[in-house]
A and B are shown apart, each in its own frame.
Chain A
Amino acid sequence: MLSLVARRLARLVVVLAGVSLVTFAILQVSGDPIALMMPEAPEADRAALRQSMGFNDPLAVQFARFVGNIVRGDFGQSFFHREAALPIVLARMPTTLLLTVFAMGLSLALAIPIGIMSAVRRNTAFDHTATLVVFLGTSMPVFWTGIMLILLFAVHFRVLPVSGWESWAALVLPAITLATFSTPLLLRIVRSSMLEVIGLDYVRTARAKGVSEWFVICRHALTNAALPLVTVAGLQFGLLLGGAIITETVFAVPGLGRLIVGAIRQLDFPIVQAGVFVLALIVVLVNFTVDMLYLYLNPQIRVR
């Protein structure tokens, strides 16, 4: 089992290295930041700046320097903020994480009970309504959902702030928007895996023992149905971080997504690199946690 954990950790490092290499390569071909930093300066001044920032060195040298710095936790100075990139990125992280975790929590809070109900009361009006809502949720683009929610709750009913990050109330609409995006898939997963499990022999046996229906579902069925749910939820978390970028834009939330999008526009390489690295780290860590949850949920893997 220890070797399994070690293997997973090694994979984590490989993924991060790969992400850094890809980000570095894409940024290299995306343009010349100097032209954006000194828009009206003569070519000679630009050349001098390019030289002093090391952009004239061979790519391999630049990449080696880049990796060497990362290992020491140094992503360089942001070209535009003129400060170290990593602290700027880390300062934005809590906002995005809070939004994503909240949305994930909301998603699970909706998906699990409704999914179970749909499975237990298969082909009833409840199940059909849930399916319909799932389709609606999947079809609505995040930015559109966001704007509609603003119009309804902030402009028409005036019960929530339009945008910003000044109060807890400001978290509600963005979290709901983001949850609308992830709930449908989770709900379908809960429903289908419950359906699979609910007809199995051991569930029938539990019922035959005279255990209450509620206990059968929560304790016996759900434990086994949880495996696919955990997998998908882990993957969905990464997607939610991506969706957070759009949500942050619509609701003017000062998160990491907006920082990275702005940095891409300005070719601010250090910020993009640090930002992508930190996001990748989070996704990889979440998936690592999912792997560890497997061990807990499925004893078979522990034995292997």
Chain B
Amino acid sequence: MKRCAPLAVVLALLACAVAPMPAVAQAKDTLTVALVSHAPTLDPHMHFERVGILVNINMFDSLLHRSTKLQFEPSLATSWKAISDTVWEFKIRKNVRFHNGDVMTPADVKYSFDRVIDQTKKSPQYGNIRAIKEVKVIDAETVHIITDKPFPLLLERLVFFPIVNKKHIETVGDQAFGTTSPVGTGPWKFVEWKRDQLIRLEAFDQHWRGKPAFKHLIFRAIPETATQVAEVKTGGVDIIRDVSADLVPELKTHPQAYISSTPILRVHYVNLDMRAAPFDKKAVRQAANYAIDKSAIIQKMMAGLGTQVATVVQPLAFGFDPEVKPYPFDQKKARELLAQAGYPNGVDITLHSSSVAYRPVFEAMAEMLTEVGIRTTPRMWDPGPAWNKFFQAEGKATQGAYGTWGNYSVFDADAVLHPLYHTEPGGWIGKWFTRVEGLDKLIDEARSTVDQPKRKRIYAQIQQIIREEAPSIFLWTQYDTLGISKKVQYAARPDEWLWLYDAKPAAR
């Protein structure tokens, strides 16, 4: 009999566990957001992860802000102008307070840049702003940013470049700043962080824009989509991101939730390996572009949440040329081009992908290519170390790879053209795949002037060239799709930001 006692204890424990039920319903002044994970640190300069940026922007301000219409707006800088090709002047907002009560000064602005430029700190954002040579404090409200050569992307980069508190960081140290005492000037201040569980923030009464609508802001880490959707339905969470196409209809009709969706800067493409057969022939690359029925995929497999694009440069980006038109779906033309290139009986190829979410789309495209004679074996990879090594570090994904590129949320053609097509050794994947004569030179030319009309002309030329040369199969731009509780009024933004200062309790 004694032996059965532990069982009774376990059962009793279980009974106790069920007893204290928390209130599932949320308090009215609390906004809860689900992210798939938390960034490794709350220090806005020491990581480069979307999930971290989404938290940081609600705690920290940058010099500039971007409106929902994608225009630059004053934030901690009230005005800015280029004094010369390499010197920019910024007027700094006065009487802005940090969460700990300190007043924000130009010295804080300089310090913020210095800690990223200082390579001993190993900031992963260094590459973003390495064109900045020096930041000079001119007077109590003026700062000069000096670049080593003309840097047209400077303003884009400053939209997410949070200004931190020099005195505070020097007192508490970098590590404590990133874990237990992050201090910014943003609408919400830090309360607590339980790693991979929740980040709890509270409205900052002295925020210069005025107090945000929600007193409490919570970022929960919920990796599984099905779980996130269940949370939205039961009111445990108010906003979820990246709602996949198959879940859209379900949330659209749910009594407690709605969908908000908008085109974003993420473009899909299949990069083709131009170094070897069969994609060393232009006609084969064009054939592949004609072979894919893009609108059918968007309508039938992506719940209509996508827009076909002519190249990888997207309508939202600076430099986009609407005159360049997408390849139509034309199987006959594809077969002709394939025959012209010397493959009348078709050709066998392998394509690679690591995008689990778009696996069905990838396989459908392989099927469409096979139909016109480009017999494709789709190979899926686990997104992780093996894929990174194989594809990114060693460029082995012959004869092509399906991928997506988010432009680091920089609304400029350069942010996609350089990583995808520039062949310089330190570049991203262009060095492995792309061989278009003269393209490198044009990309370099456009990035080394701040003369915007001139840049626009160069980008138009580039788009015509790549439309013709087809270094990729050009596909579509993705949409950002949020699932939102009906208790909250908010809309998805084209830059994928969750700028929750705009979130309001829904009128009842």
Please tell me if the beta carbons of B384 and A264 are within 8 angstroms of each other in the complex.
Answer: yes
Partner of B223, one of A32, A42, A258: A258
Given known pairs A31-B393, A109-B7, the reply for A39 and B48 (CB within 8 Å) is: yes
* CB of A241 to closest CB in B, whole Å: 17
Query: Which B residues are CB-close (under 8 A) to A250?
Result: 224, 226-227
Q: A82, B41: Cβ atoms under 8 Å?
A: yes
The complex places the Cα of A240 from the Cα of B218 at a distance, in Å, of 31
* A252 B385 Cβ-Cβ under 8 A: no
Q: Is the CB of A155 within 8 A of B230?
A: yes
Interface string of B223-244 (1 = CB under 8 A from A): 1101100110110100000000
Contact of A134 with B by CB under 8 A: no
Determine the chain A residues whose CB is within 8 A of the CB of B3 once the complex forms. 218-219, 222
- A44–B122 Cα distance when bound, in Å, is 13
Number of interface residues, chain B, beta carbon within 8 A: 61
Mask: chain B, 139-182; 1 = CB below 8 Å from A; 0 = not: 00000000000000000000000000000000000110011000
Binds A, one of B64-72, B126-134, B297-305, B310-318: B126-134
Q: Which A residues from 240 to 270 make CB contacts under 8 A with B?
A: 249-252, 254, 258-259, 262, 264-267
Q: Which chain A residue lies CB-closest to B34? A: A252
**B-side contacts of A251, CB under 8 Å:** 227
User: A-side binding surface: helix, strand, loop or mixed?
Assistant: helix
Tell me whether B393 and A35 are in contact (CB under 8 A): yes
A300 at the interface (CB under 8 A from B): no
Q: A108-B7, A155-B234, A262-B37 are in contact. Are A39 and B124 (CB under 8 A)?
A: yes
Q: Taking A45-B126, A158-B24 as contacts, is the C-beta distance between A91 and B195 under 8 angstroms?
A: yes
A169-B48 in contact (CB<8A): no
Size of the chain A interface, CB-CB below 8 angstroms: 68
A36: CB under 8 A from chain B?
A: yes
0/1 interface trace, chain B 1-27, chain A, CB 8 Å (1 if under)? 101100100110110111111101000
Q: Does B197 contact A (CB under 8 A)?
A: yes
Q: Let me know if B309 is at the binding interface, CB within 8 A.
A: no
Is there an interface contact between A112 and B7, defined as CB atoms closer than 8 Å?
yes
Please, which residue of chain A has its CB at the minimum distance from the CB of B195? A254
Residues from chain A with Cβ under 8 Å of B17 in the complex: 168-169, 171-172
Q: How far is the CA of A91 from the CA of B193 in the complex (A)?
A: 13
- Confirm or deny: B334 has a beta carbon within 8 angstroms of a beta carbon on chain A: no
Knowing A78-B40, A169-B20, A252-B227, the reply to whether A43 touches B14 (Cβ < 8 A) is no
Is A80 close to B, CB under 8 A? yes
Contact across chains for B46 and A164 when beta carbons are under 8 A apart: no
Measured in the bound complex, the distance between the Cα atoms of B472 and A241 in whole Å is: 44
A276 close to chain B: CB less than 8 A: no
| Given A31-B393, A105-B10, A168-B17: A81 and B126 interface contact (C-beta under 8 Å) | no
Residues from chain B with a CB closer than 8 A to the CB of A266 are: 40
Least CB distance, B153 to chain A, in whole angstroms: 12
Instruction: Scan B436-472; emit 1 where CB is below 8 A from any A CB, else 0.
Output: 0000000000000000000000000000000000000
B386 within 8 A of A: yes
Give Cα A158 to B17, complex, Å: 16
Nearest CB to that of A33 among chain B residues? B385
- B22-A169 in contact (CB<8A): yes
Given known A-B contacts A30-B386, A254-B196, A42 and B10 have beta carbons under 8 A apart = no
Interface string of A157-183 (1 = CB under 8 A from B): 011111111111101100000000000
- 8 Å CB contacts to A: which residues of B317-353? none
> Is the beta-carbon distance between A218 and B1 smaller than 8 angstroms?
yes
The distance from the CB of A171 to the nearest CB of chain B, in whole angstroms, is 6
Q: Are A43 and B48 in contact (CB under 8 A)?
A: no
Give every chain B residue within 8 A of A267 (Cβ-Cβ): 385, 388
Q: Are A254 and B236 in contact (CB under 8 A)?
A: no
What's the minimum C-beta distance from B461 to chain A, rounded to whole angstroms? 25
Chain A residues closer than 8 Å to B7, beta-carbon distance: 108-109, 112-113
Q: Are A38 and B126 in contact, with the CB atoms below 8 A?
A: yes
Q: Would you call A164 and B197 a contact (CB within 8 A)?
A: yes
Interface centre among B1, B10, B16, B425, by most chain A C-beta atoms within 10 angstroms, is B10
**Contact across chains for A155 and B13 when beta carbons are under 8 A apart:** no
Cβ-defined contact, A30 with B126, below 8 A: no
Give the one of A80, A82, A112, A169 with max B CB within 10 A.
Answer: A82
**Is residue A106 within 8 Å, beta carbon to beta carbon, of the partner chain?**
yes
Residue from the set B21, B46, B223 with the largest chain A CB neighbour count within 10 Å: B223
A60 on interface, CB distance cutoff 8 Å: no
> Is A41 positioned at the interface, with any CB of B under 8 Å from its CB?
yes
How distant is the Cα of A37 from the Cα of B47 in the complex, in angstroms? 8
Q: In whole Å, how far is A293's beta carbon from the nearest beta carbon of chain B?
A: 14
Q: Does B489 contact A (CB under 8 A)?
A: no
27 contacts between A and B (CB under 8 A): A30-B386, A31-B389, A39-B48, A40-B408, A45-B127, A48-B119, A82-B174, A91-B195, A102-B13, A105-B10, A108-B10, A160-B18, A161-B24, A162-B236, A164-B220, A169-B22, A171-B17, A172-B18, A222-B3, A252-B222, A252-B224, A254-B194, A258-B196, A259-B195, A264-B385, A265-B383, A266-B40
Residues on B facing A (Cβ under 8 Å) = 1, 3-4, 7, 10-11, 13-14, 16-22, 24, 37, 40-41, 46-48, 119, 122, 124, 126-128, 130, 174-175, 178-179, 194-198, 220-224, 226-227, 230-231, 233-234, 236, 383-386, 388-389, 392-393, 408, 425-426
List A residues at the B interface (Cβ < 8 Å): 30-32, 35-45, 48-49, 78, 80-83, 88, 91-92, 102, 105-106, 108-109, 112-113, 143, 147, 150-151, 154-155, 158-169, 171-172, 214-215, 218-219, 222, 249-252, 254, 258-259, 262, 264-267
